[in-house]
Chain A
Amino acid sequence: MSYIAILITYIFINNFIFTQFLGLCPFIGVSKNSESAIGMGIAVTFVMGLASLITYLVYHFLLVPLQLQYLQTLSFILVIAALVQFVEMIIQKNSPALYQALGIFLPLITTNCAVLGIAIINITQGYNLMESFVAGIAGGLGFTLAIILMSNLREKLDLSPVRKAFKGVPIAFVSGGLMALAFMAFDKALLTNLLG
Chain B
Amino acid sequence: MSILYAFLVISALGLLLGLGLAFAAKKFAVKKDVVAEQILEVLPGANCGGCGFPGCSGYAAALSAKTAPNGLCPPGGAAVAAKVAAILGIEESGTSEKMVAFVHCRGNHELSSLDYQYDGIEDCNAAALLFKGDNTCKYGCLHLGSCIRVCPTSAISRDEKGNVTVNPELCIGCKKCTLVCPTKVIRMIPARGSHAIACNSNDPGAKVRKICKVGCIGCMICEKKFPDSGCKVVNYLSEIDYGKPMTQIAEAAQACPTKCIVEAK
Binding site for B on A (CB under 8 A): 58, 62-63, 66-68, 71, 74-75, 78-79, 82, 85-86, 89-90, 92-93, 96
Contacts and interface: CB of A to CB of B under 8 A. Distances in A.
A111 B76 CA distance: 42
Interface of B: 2, 5-6, 9-10, 13-14, 17-18, 20-21, 24-25, 28-30
Given A62-B9, A78-B14, A68 B21 contact: no
Contact of A75 (B2, B5, B13, B28): B13
Contacts of A62: 9, 13
A66 B17 contact: no
Given A68-B2, A68-B6, A78-B14, A93 B20 contact: no
A62 B29 CA distance: 30
B54 to A, nearest CB: 12
Contacts of A66: 5, 9
Contacts of A67: 2
B5 A68 contact: yes
Contact of B20 (A75, A82, A96): A82
Contact of A71 (B10, B24, B28): B10
Contacts of B20: 82, 86
5 contacts: A78-B14, A82-B18, A89-B21, A89-B24, A92-B28
Nearest to B3: A68
A68 B9 CA distance: 9
Contacts of A68: 2, 5-6, 9
A63 B5 CA distance: 10
A92 B5 CA distance: 36
Given A66-B5, A68-B6, A86 B21 contact: yes
A90 B28 contact: yes
Contacts of A93: 28-30
B223 to A, nearest CB: 51
Contacts of A79: 13, 17
Contacts of B5: 66, 68
B16 to A, nearest CB: 9
A56 B28 CA distance: 26
